[in-house]
Amino acid sequence: MGLSREDATTLTIQTIVGAAALLDESGETPTRLREKVTSLKGATAEALAVFDEAGISEIVAKAMAASARRSGELAQ
């Protein structure tokens, strides 16, 4: 998308750090905070629509279940 790997990494880290700080300081739930910062028909709303269409919630749930299952296997 036109960013160097270094710039993309820096941008990603700063976005995560900033989002975590905002979440910690605001006292809001993650869902409520996302609703407050997502503009109707904005870039984030479009990205979230793509995630929804791809079934991201189901994908994450399956990944978490697989990880938990494997962690249990490794613990034995």
Residues 70 and 55 in one domain: yes
- Structure tokens that stand for 30 in this block: 């993650």
pLDDT of residue 19: 93
Residues 2 and 32 in one domain: yes
Residue 6 burial (CB count, 10 A)? 8
Helical (H) or strand (E) element with 1: none
Domain count for the chain: 2
Residues 28 and 10 in one domain: yes
Residue 63: strand, helix, or coil: helix
pLDDT of residue 61: 98
Q: Is 34 exposed, middle or buried (0-12, 13-18, 19+ CB in 10 A)?
A: middle
pLDDT tens, residue order, the chain (76 aa) = 789 999 999 999 999 999 999 999 999 999 999 999 899 999 999 999 999 999 999 999 999 999 999 999 999 9
pLDDT of residue 6: 97
Residues 55 and 32 in one domain: no
Structural domain boundaries, residue 13: 1-37
Q: Kindly report the pTM of this predicted structure.
A: 0.68
Residues 32 and 7 in one domain: yes
Q: Which of 38, 5, 33, 9 has the alpha carbon at shortest distance from 21?
A: 33
pLDDT of residue 10: 98
